[in-house]
Amino acid sequence: MSHVPVLAAEVLEGLALQPGMTVLDGTLGLGGHALLILEATAPHGQLIGVERDSRNWAVAKERLTNYGDRVTTIRDSYGNIASHQIPPLDAVLLDLGFSSVHVDQADRGFSFMQEGPLDMRYDQGQELTAEAIVNGWPRDDLNRLFREYGEEHYSGEIAKAITEARKKQRITTTTQLADLILKLAGGRGAIHPATKVFQALRIAVNDEFGELTRGLTELTKLLKPGGRLVVISFHSLEDRIVKNFIKESTELVAVNKKPIIASDEELRQNPRSRSAKLRIASKQEPT
C-alpha cells in the first residue's frame, strides 16, 4: 500500500495556507501531509501534529525533526484536544482512519489478509481490543455493531456464528474471524466478506465516531475567524458525520457543497485514494 499522502494538492488548496500560519494536523500518521504543510507555511509557520498511535507518532516526529521548533507533536487523540494548550489556529486537517502501516503490520490486527492478534487499537495503551468485543459482547450487540458501523447485510448471521464458535474456542486471531465469516458467506460478493465486520470492529475499538464528533466540536472552537477545516474521510458513515456537522454548525460554512474526490491520475497511482472524500469548511468572521 502507498505511503503517499491522499489528495495532497486538494488538501493544500483547501487549507488556504500562507507563510507564517499556525496549522494543526490532527491525524499526523507518518507526517506526509505535515511535511507539505510545513513547506507551504515556511519560513516561520507552526505545525501542531496530533497522533494517537505511538509507533506512527515516533516515525513522524523523526521525519519532521529538521523543522526544529516549528513543529510540536502531541501523542493523544485529536478528540482530547481540549485538554492541551493550543494557540488559535489558521487551519486544521483531519485525514481519518488507519494508515497503510496499520494494515501492513500483521501484529496490529487490522488486516484479515494476514494472521495477527485481534487487536485493532491505534493507542496500544488502551484496554479495549477487538478480541474483547468479539468474545465478550452479547449477540444482539454484535449484530447491531456490524449492521450500524459496518452496514453489513448479514450482521445477524455473522453475530450468531461468532457466538456459537466462541463457546467452543476463544476467537483470538484475525484469520480465525475472517475464516469463520468466509465459510458462512461462501463465494458471495466482490469484496472479501470480512471487510465490513473488520471496519465495524475498528470503529468500535477506537470509538472513531465519538472522537470525530468531539474533535470537530473542539477544533472548530480553536479555529480563528476565516480559518479552514479540511477533513478526508474514507467511508460514507464518516463522511455523513462531517457533512452534517458542517451543515448544523452556526460557525462553519461549507466551501465545497459536494465532497472532492481523487483525480483519475491519483486513482491510478494510489489505490487508497479510491474511497477518499474531502470536505472543506471555513469559520465565519464574527458579524
Ligand X SMILES: C[S@@+](CC[C@H](N)C(=O)[O-])C[C@H]1O[C@@H](n2cnc3c(N)ncnc32)[C@H](O)[C@@H]1O
Binding site for ligand X (CB under 6 A): 5, 26-27, 29-33, 50-53, 56, 77-79, 95, 97-99, 122, 211
Output the smallest distance, CB 246 to ligand X, in A.
Answer: 19
Burial class (CB in 10 A: 0-12, 13-18, 19+), 286: exposed
Looking at the Cβ atoms of 29 and 227, the one nearer to ligand X is 29
227/53 Cα distance (integer angstroms): 27
Smallest separation, CB 284 to ligand X (Å):
26
Instruction: Give the Cα separation of 181 and 195 in Å (integer).
Output: 10
Beta carbon of residue 270, minimum distance to ligand X (angstroms, whole number): 11
Using alpha carbons, select from 279, 284, 140, 133 the residue that is nearest to residue 212.
279
Task: Using alpha carbons, select from 63, 67, 60, 64 the residue that is nearest to residue 29.
Answer: 60
If the CB atoms of residues 183 and 240 are measured against ligand X, the closer one turns out to be 240
Q: Which residue is nearest to ligand X (CB)?
A: 29
User: With respect to ligand X, which residue has the nearer C-beta, 118 or 165?
Assistant: 118
State how far the Cα of 210 lies from the Cα of 78, in Å rounded to an integer.
11
> Which sign, positive or negative, has the C-alpha torsion 260, 266, 272, 275?
positive
Q: Report the run of H or E that residue 161 belongs to, with start and end.
A: helix 155-168
The nearer residue to ligand X, 79 or 109, going by C-beta atoms, is 79
Q: How far is the CB of 1 from ligand X (least distance, A)?
A: 11
Shortest distance in whole angstroms from residue 38 CB to ligand X: 12
Nearer to ligand X, 26 or 227 (CB): 26
